């Protein structure tokens, strides 16, 4: 945050501490600032997208303390102390997360606007361990809308990563 | 979003004191509905009290053999809790029929009870709405009302309560634990939400300064015969047009205990104890299920676009009771209705 931005905050701003993509950040936030706006506007992490801004599309999905959540419906101030992971924290060019690799491999997007939310959600879906079939992947991804309709390839990508992780689990047993 | 004072309560006492000091304040827990409404200026609280630090996020056994669910337990944690999934599968199923995985991670038990209607006019501050602005009128009655109520309506409001969780809790005969300026008390689920009448601005019978602390499930569970069937415009991540929670006990081919509640049809989760009484001692089958459905819908009234709900509800009740009786509850991932 630049000093100019800090000065433009209202006196109602309160100090909070967030761990964002592994880095501890001490921040001043106005209570009406959503986590999504904080990430995008104050922290410059524009990977998380503002689609509907009303919890209906999932483009803003991030991981809060490891769980997927719509960051547009979360006031940042209530998450004081939380660990936030955004798409930027999952992987970077040259060092992609397996889910990012799978989305590329399966061409699981067209315009790409919903993709960061889809990938954060899909990473959580794998960690939750409740989806085992294509039907279940679709159900547990229903909170992420893709207006281009890349759903078939999104399910392919997730199925691929699920297969890899179950293979890994079997190998470890 | 309008600006507001933010107060963080560190324990129940602080929250109750903060509410007593400003009864018009709004409590924030998960925020999934409140923040949404604040973005539309439907809710414009001057003060928001954050209760996320309160120790209300556990599920504990009660002395009477039931479970007490803290108000801050998330919808996801509740649905997947092994005790809930094993003993109250109807509740798990209803929770998993609602919203999306992301929203279920945020949304809380107490907040789900207090979520507001998704009536288009309630959300649109450019139109009148008796619930949002008492006395301004209800354009839904003669307007766009495909999603609106068919039971218990008034000439001032035909909004529905949108929850799935609450429909199961109504069927399970839950109790709501509340703490307010006068101390602690419990409210029977039936008495928690209210019909619109001439005060549609009031969704519940909570009093100013009340804070929900828990929902208690009685010991009586329905593990063998239950089903939650939710019918909607798309198969996931949509509010119910009609939903039905059914729970039965069947001994020697006769129903010995019946619970029946509907969602998406009224201003509150619509439990019908008279229909339950008709089912009791009957033989499970289309005849008794149809009679119960007819009883539930005896006073149903359509408003045009939503008139289809009457027949839809009739058939949904029969189907859900059949699923419950057969021991084949509706799957919330395999959407085929059998």
Q: H or E segment at A77?
A: none
Q: Which of A33, A61, A90 is the last residue of a domain?
A: A90
3-class DSSP state for residue B184?
Answer: strand
Measured between CB atoms, does A65 come within 8 Å of chain B? no
Same domain? A80 vs A119: no
DSSP string over A89-112: HH-BTTB--HHHHHHHHTT--SS-
**Rounded mean pLDDT, B125-150:** 98
Measured between CB atoms, does A10 come within 8 Å of chain B? yes
In this structure, the number of other CB atoms found within 10 A of the CB of residue B223 comes to 13
Q: Give the pLDDT band of residue A10 (cuts 50, 70, 90).
A: confident
Q: Which of A90, A125, A153 is the last residue of a domain?
A: A90
Q: What are the tens digits of pLDDT across the range A65-118?
A: 999 999 999 999 999 999 999 999 999 999 999 999 999 999 999 999 999 999
Share of chain A above pLDDT 90, in %: 87
Share of chain A above pLDDT 70, in %: 91
User: Running DSSP on this structure, what letter comes out for residue A79?
Assistant: G
Looking at chain B, which residues constitute the CATH 3.30.43.10 domain(s)?
5-53
Choose among A61, A74, A144: nearest Cβ to B31: A74
Q: Give the pLDDT band of residue B222 (cuts 50, 70, 90).
A: very high
pLDDT at A137: 98
Q: Residue A116: give its domain's CATH number.
A: 1.10.150.120
Q: What are the tens digits of pLDDT across the range B67-123?
A: 999 999 999 999 999 999 999 999 999 999 999 999 999 999 999 999 999 999 999
Q: Residue A39: give its domain's CATH number.
A: 3.10.20.30
Same domain? A67 vs A112: no
- pLDDT exceeds cutoff 50 at A4: no
Task: Give the distance from residue B33's alpha carbon to the nearest chain A alpha carbon, in angstroms.
Answer: 8
Query: Could B101 and A125 be called an inter-chain contact, meaning their C-beta atoms sit closer than 8 Å?
Result: yes
Task: Give the distance from residue A67's alpha carbon to the nearest chain B alpha carbon, in angstroms.
Answer: 7
Q: For residues B43, B49, B52 and B58, what is the CA-based torsion angle, rounded to 10 degrees?
A: -90
Q: Give the pLDDT band of residue A44 (cuts 50, 70, 90).
A: very high
Task: Give the distance from residue B28's alpha carbon to the nearest chain A alpha carbon, in angstroms.
Answer: 9
**Rounded mean pLDDT, B10-34:** 96
Site from B98, B100, B236 to mutate, A interface, most A CB atoms within 10 angstroms: B100
CATH topology of domain B5-53: 3.30.43
- pLDDT exceeds cutoff 50 at A3: no
Query: Could B36 and A54 be called an inter-chain contact, meaning their C-beta atoms sit closer than 8 Å?
Result: yes
Tell whether the torsion through CA atoms of B105, B106, B109 and B113 is positive or negative.
negative
- Cα–Cα distance, B329 to B337 (Å, whole number): 10
Mean pLDDT (chain B) is 97
In sequence order, the 6+-apart residues with CB closer than 8 A to the CB of A63 are A69, A84, A85, A86, A120, A123, A124
Structure tokens that stand for A57 in this block: 């599309």
CATH of B225-326, one of 3.20.20.140, 3.30.2270.10, 2.60.40.1120, 3.30.390.50: 3.30.390.50
Q: Give the pLDDT band of residue A11 (cuts 50, 70, 90).
A: confident
In sequence order, the 6+-apart residues with CB closer than 8 A to the CB of B300 are B150, B151, B265, B309, B310, B313
Same domain? A128 vs A51: no
Longest pairwise C-alpha distance within chain B: 62
- Cα–Cα distance, B66 to B310 (Å, whole number): 35
Query: Could B3 and A73 be called an inter-chain contact, meaning their C-beta atoms sit closer than 8 Å?
Result: no
Measured between CB atoms, does A41 come within 8 Å of chain B? no
Structure tokens that stand for A94 in this block: 């040259």
Closest alpha carbon to B236 in A80, A141, A16, A54: A141
Closest alpha carbon to B261 in B98, B151, B335: B151
Same domain? A17 vs A60: yes
Measured between CB atoms, does A121 come within 8 Å of chain B? yes
Q: Which of A90, A121, A141 is the last residue of a domain?
A: A90
Query: Could A55 and B101 be called an inter-chain contact, meaning their C-beta atoms sit closer than 8 Å?
Result: no
Instruction: Compute the half-sphere exposure of residue B324: CA atoms within 13 Å on the CB side of its CA.
Output: 34
Whether B280 and B257 have beta carbons less than 8 Å apart is answered as: yes
Show the domain range for A86: 3-90
Rg of the Cα atoms in chain A: 17
Query: How far, rounded to the nearest angstrom, does the alpha carbon of residue A130 sit from its chain's CA centroid?
Result: 19
Residues of A in contact with B76 (CB under 8 A): 67
pLDDT at A9: 81
Same domain? A49 vs A105: no
Same domain? A85 vs A110: no
Alpha helices in chain A (DSSP H): 3-8, 35-37, 87-90, 98-105, 115-128, 134-140, 151-172
- Cα–Cα distance, B311 to B26 (Å, whole number): 39
DSSP string over B79-115: HH-HHHHHH-HHHHHHHHHSS-HHHHHH-BHHHHHTP
**Rounded mean pLDDT, B43-65:** 98
Q: H or E segment at B49?
A: strand B47-50
3-class DSSP state for residue A145?
Answer: coil
Whether B257 and B334 have beta carbons less than 8 Å apart is answered as: no
Same domain? A120 vs A69: no
pLDDT at A171: 61
Residue A105 backbone phi and psi in degrees, to 5? -55, -40
Residues of A in contact with B237 (CB under 8 A): 142-143
Same domain? A45 vs A80: yes
Residue in chain B lying closest to A53 (CA): B36
Same domain? A75 vs A129: no
Residues of A in contact with B48 (CB under 8 A): 31, 75
Whether B30 and B98 have beta carbons less than 8 Å apart is answered as: no
pLDDT at B221: 87
Rg of the Cα atoms in chain B: 19
Looking at chain B, which residues constitute the CATH 3.30.390.50 domain(s)?
225-326
Residues of A in contact with B31 (CB under 8 A): 73-75, 78
Q: Give the pLDDT band of residue A168 (cuts 50, 70, 90).
A: low
How many domains would you assign to chain A?
Answer: 2
Q: Pairing state of beta strands B254-263 and B242-251?
A: antiparallel
Q: What are the tens digits of pLDDT across the range B257-266?
A: 999 999 999 9
Query: Could A68 and B1 be called an inter-chain contact, meaning their C-beta atoms sit closer than 8 Å?
Result: no
């Amino acid at each position: 945050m630049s000093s100019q931005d800090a000065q433009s905050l209202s006196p109602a701003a309160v100090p909070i501490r967030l761990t964002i993509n592994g880095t501890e950040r001490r921040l001043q936030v106005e209570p009406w600032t959503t986590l999504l706006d904080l990430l995008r506007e104050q922290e410059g992490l524009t990977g998380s997208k503002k689609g509907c801004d009303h919890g209906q599309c999932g483009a803003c999905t991030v991981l809060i303390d490891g769980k997927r959540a719509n960051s547009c419906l979360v006031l940042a101030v209530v998450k004081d102390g939380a660990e936030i992971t955004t798409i930027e924290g999952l992987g970077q060019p040259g060092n992609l997360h397996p889910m990012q690799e799978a989305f590329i491999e399966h061409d699981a997007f067209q315009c790409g606007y919903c993709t960061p939310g889809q990938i954060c959600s899909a990473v959580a879906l794998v960690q939750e361990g409740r989806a085992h079939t294509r039907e279940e992947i679709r159900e547990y991804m229903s909170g992420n809308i893709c207006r281009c309709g890349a759903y078939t390839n999104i399910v392919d990508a997730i199925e691929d990563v699920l297969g890899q992780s179950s293979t890994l689990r079997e190998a470890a047993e | 979003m309008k600006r507001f004072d933010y107060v963080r309560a560190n324990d129940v006492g602080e929250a109750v004191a903060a509410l007593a000091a400003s009864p018009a304040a709004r409590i924030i827990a998960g925020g999934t509905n409140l923040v949404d409404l604040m973005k539309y200026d439907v809710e414009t609280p001057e003060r928001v009290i954050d209760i996320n630090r309160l120790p209300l996020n556990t599920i504990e056994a009660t002395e009477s053999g039931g479970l007490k669910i803290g108000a801050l337990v998330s919808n996801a944690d509740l649905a997947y809790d092994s005790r809930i999934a094993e003993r109250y599968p109807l509740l798990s199923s209803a929770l998993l029929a609602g919203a999306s995985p992301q929203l279920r991670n945020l949304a809380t038990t107490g907040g789900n009870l207090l979520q507001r209607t998704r009536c288009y006019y309630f959300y649109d501050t450019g139109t009148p709405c008796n619930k949002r602005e008492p006395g301004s009128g209800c354009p839904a009655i003669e307007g766009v009302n495909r999603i609106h109520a068919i039971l218990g309506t008034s000439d001032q409001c035909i909004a529905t309560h949108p929850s799935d969780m609450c429909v199961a809790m109504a069927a399970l005969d839950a109790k709501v634990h509340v703490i307010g300026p006068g101390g602690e008390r419990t409210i029977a689920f039936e008495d928690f939400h209210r019909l619109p009448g001439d005060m549609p601005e009031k969704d519940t019978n909570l009093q100013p300064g009340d804070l929900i602390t828990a929902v208690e499930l009685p010991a009586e569970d329905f593990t063998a015969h239950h089903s939650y069937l939710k019918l909607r415009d798309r198969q996931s991540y949509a509010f119910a047009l009609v939903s039905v929670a059914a729970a039965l006990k069947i001994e020697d081919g006769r129903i010995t205990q019946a619970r029946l509640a509907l969602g998406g049809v009224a201003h509150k989760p619509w439990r019908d104890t008279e229909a339950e009484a008709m089912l009791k001692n009957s033989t499970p089958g289309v005849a008794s299920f149809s009679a119960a459905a007819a009883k539930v819908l005896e006073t149903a009234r359509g408003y045009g676009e939503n008139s289809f709900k009457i027949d839809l509800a009739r058939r949904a009740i029969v189907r859900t009771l059949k699923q419950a009786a057969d021991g084949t509850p509706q799957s919330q991932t395999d959407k085929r209705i059998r």
